[in-house]
Amino acid sequence: MRALTLIQPWLELIVSHGKRVENRTYGTPYRGLLALHASARSDKPMIRAMQSEGWSFPALPIGAVVAVAELVDVHSADDSACRCDAWAETGPRIHHWVLDVVQALPDPIRCPGARRLWTPPTHVLQELT
């Protein structure tokens, strides 16, 4: 299993609001289970802006693995066969990481994150299995 760190509220949108595409500036050959980790920081201006538009967010966990998903596809944003959801961005160097079967954990598992894809620590893997 690999892990991906995301900044809130983007992770919450994946876990609770049906966002199934993560936009990244790089691709990966990896497919499979992906632990979704909430970064130690959040995008507070974006959270405030979304709340002013009617979005409701509970207390957003940070610094923890909060969900598991299946990474089923990664493709370039300019792929003519792309049928991704409304969250998919376009532009040069953008890759769509397509997620499926997102499952929130009953309790966040605290751990530090990392950039790009990373391997969760042993204690996180043990709790996830």
> Does residue 129 lie in a domain region?
no
Whether residue 85 lies inside any domain: the answer is yes
- Answer yes or no: is 128 within a domain: no
Question: What is the extent of the structural domain holding 36?
Answer: 2-123
Residue 77 located in a structural domain:
yes
Judge whether 12 lies within some domain: yes
pLDDT tens profile 8-48: 999 999 999 999 999 999 999 999 999 999 999 999 999 99
pLDDT at res. 86:
85
What is the arrangement of strands in the sheet containing 95-110, beginning at the earlier edge strand? 21-24, 95-110, 64-76, 32-42, 2-8, 117-118
The domain that contains 97 carries what CATH number?
Answer: 2.30.130.30
From CA 20, how far away is CA 62, in angstroms rounded?
A: 20
Give residue 93's region: left, alpha or beta (phi > 0; psi -120 to 50).
left
| Residue 101 backbone dihedrals phi, psi, to 5 degrees | 50, 60
pLDDT for residue 116 is more than 90: yes
The pLDDT tens digits of the residues spanning 63-105 come to 999 999 999 999 998 876 778 878 898 888 899 999 999 999 9
pLDDT digits (tens, 9 = 90+) for 49-68: 999 999 988 889 999 999 99
Count of domains in the chain?
A: 1
